[in-house]
Amino acid sequence: MALLPVKQAAGINRRRIGNVVVTALNDGCLDVDFNLLTGVSIQDAEAMMVIAHRPPEARMSVGAYLVQDGERTLLIDAGAGGFNGWGGRLCSALAVAGIEPEDVDAVLLTHAHPDHIGGMVGMAGQPVFTNAELILCHDECQFWTDPQYFSFFSENKRPMLLFARNILAAYRDRTRFVVAGEVLPGVEFVPLPGHTPGHGGYRISSGDSSLLIWGDIVHFPDIQIPCPDVTIAFDVDPVEACRTRHRTLDMVASGGELVGGLHLNFPGFIRVFKENGKYSFYEEPWCPSII
């Protein structure tokens, strides 16, 4: 399949990484509460949002990324699919990008929280991406499916455990487990543990360009990039998640690498800087066209 010239369309944002086109897709948002954060007060969190010229609300963007190299169509994460009223716009965003669900060759998961896997199945629990291989870290699948980890899920988190198990089961016969390194030509799985045991990101490389889609290194970039010690209740291991966040921010800041993240403010691409021991970030502007 030849990769045709593509232009910017409403609801999506594209970047060219060498010969690869990466499209940020907006699935919607989810509303939570700043009391889920540890290491910052609700008042300070709200103030940081105001300083960043955003409403002082605990609203997270939910996204996914489409990767096309002219031969393969890949999807990194699949949005929330309407779970708990979150997101659910992924297929509409794909349609704007000119992609039908059956065009997707592989779904690559950063991890299996519901806001990253909800769009993988339909109302009856059937796979949405009927021709896609599912790729995820072996440790991540084990965490959600092995009974030995059941104690990690409190009563109020059991619904998302069952949700993840059902979705992973729907793709069981076409799942490939990865650990680290290249999973497809030009696509590398980067382990970033802490948020979940098998949490990771995907580095897209082509020519001299690369992009790291870092999963859930941050949930509120305007808070957790300048204050990387702030953790969230969704972190399975907050200490490890914090350590991984510092390491990842150092990595992308030192190399100037382009970054994508599933909870970055749309349009979904940033660059991170470190000066005098403090992190900041610059949001890449909307791309008017990709030729």
- Tens-digit pLDDT profile for residues 25-52: 999 998 999 999 999 999 999 999 999 9
- Dihedrals φ, ψ of 36, to 5°? -75, -15
Distances (CA, A) of 47 to 42, 218, 225, 245: 9, 18, 15, 22
- Tens-digit pLDDT profile for residues 123-163: 888 999 999 999 999 999 999 999 888 887 888 888 889 99
Residue 286 structure tokens: 């909307």
- The count of other CB atoms within 10 Å of the CB of residue 97 is 20
d(CA 209, CA 221): 23
pLDDT at 4: 38
Residue 53 structure tokens: 């010229």
Query: Which residues make beta-bridge pairs with 212?
Result: 203, 259
pLDDT at 9: 45
- Tens-digit pLDDT profile for residues 272-288: 999 999 999 999 987 74
Residue 289 pLDDT exceeds 80:
no
- Tens-digit pLDDT profile for residues 84-131: 888 889 999 999 999 999 999 999 999 999 999 999 999 888 999 999
- The count of other CB atoms within 10 Å of the CB of residue 88 is 17
d(CA 85, CA 87): 7
Pairing of strands 181-184, 187-191: antiparallel
Confidence of residue 266 (pLDDT cuts 50, 70, 90): confident
Pick left, alpha or beta for residue 267 (phi over 0 → left; psi -120 to 50 → alpha; otherwise beta): alpha
The upper half-sphere exposure of residue 286, i.e. CA atoms within 13 Å in the direction of its Cβ, equals 11
